[in-house]
Every structure is written in C-alpha cells, then in structure tokens.
Chain A
Amino acid sequence: PPSLSSTVAPPSLPPYFIKGSIIQLADGELKRVEDLKTEDFIQSAEISTELKIDSSTVERIEGSHTSPNFAVVQFSVGEHRAQVSVEVLVEYPFFVFGQGWSSCCPDRTTQLLELPCTKLSVGDVCISLTLKNLR
C-alpha cells in the first residue's frame, strides 16, 4: 500500500506524560504528573492571566482513517458547545474532571508511560484550555 500522509498529531507522545515527570503549577509548586488533581488545573488557571479552563465533553470516539495508532475524539467545548475534533495517538491521555488521566487505550498508556489511566468514554468531561477574554 502507499505510505500514509502525515497526520495532525505528533508521531510520538510528549515527554511530560511519562510517570514521574515534574510539572510546575502556576503558583510555582512542583508535582509529579501522576499526582495532579482537578484542583491543580483549576487553581493554576485562576492565577493565569491568559488561560482559562473549559469543560470539553467527549461526544464521539472513532478510529482514524490515516493510521490504526490514532483516534479521532470529538469534543463539545465550553458553554457554547463548540464542536472540536482532535486526532491523537490512542494512548494520548486527557484529564477528566474529578477522575484523572484517561485515554482511548489505557492499557497502552500504562504500558508506554507507566501513567495510571482509565478508559476515555463518551460523556466524559475533560479539562481543556482556552484564552481568557482580553479586551
């Protein structure tokens, strides 16, 4: 078969999802990625001058047309319920409100990153970022 064209997502996972990675919160506190809680993101966004947290509800999860290693996740974002689709590696973790790290293929996430992870499902509400209104 012909080679696949490039996809919108990076070919490998970013290093900060590996268990033990040190994350700096907006107030300067350092935490390991696996220890992050919903409140850490909320409090960091409150301090941030540019970023705010949106609630992004998973509306659909399907396999990518370009590669079996990728999935397309469709979100309903924010109060206006804007529809946004992202193509990600199946092991790419999202942070679900009140629950923690979740991915389309949690076994792979745990295997590759050692990051404790649950299965991302339709209806899950993920933390996403958007810009604060700058007027």
Chain B
Amino acid sequence: VPVFPWHSLVPFLEPSQSG
C-alpha cells in the first residue's frame, strides 16, 4: 500500500518576495 507524505496534499503557493 503506497504511503504519501502530508505535504503532497496541499498546494505550494509561493508568495511574491517582499522585504
């Protein structure tokens, strides 16, 4: 049975750089 890491389930949304 495959096991998936928790961080696969939510999107990686890179905010724009500031400061």
Give A residues with C-beta under 8 Å from B. 14-17, 21-26, 30, 33, 36, 40-41, 44, 48, 51, 53-54, 56, 75, 77-78, 80, 82, 84, 86, 94-95, 126-131
Q: Cβ of A23 and Cβ of B15 under 8 Å apart?
A: no
Query: For chains A and B in complex, what number of residue pairs have CB atoms within 8 angstroms?
Result: 76
Give B residues with C-beta under 8 Å from A. 1-16, 18
Residues of B within 8 A of A130 (CB): 12-15
Chain B's closest residue to A129 (CB) is B12
Q: Cβ of B16 and Cβ of A23 under 8 Å apart?
A: no
Residues of A within 8 A of B13 (CB): 54, 56, 75, 77, 84, 86, 128-130
Overall SS of chain A's interface? strand
A25 CA to B6 CA, complexed, in Å:
5
Q: Which of B2, B3, B5, B10 gathers the greatest number of chain A CB atoms within 10 Å? A: B10
Residues of B within 8 A of A23 (CB): 3-6, 9
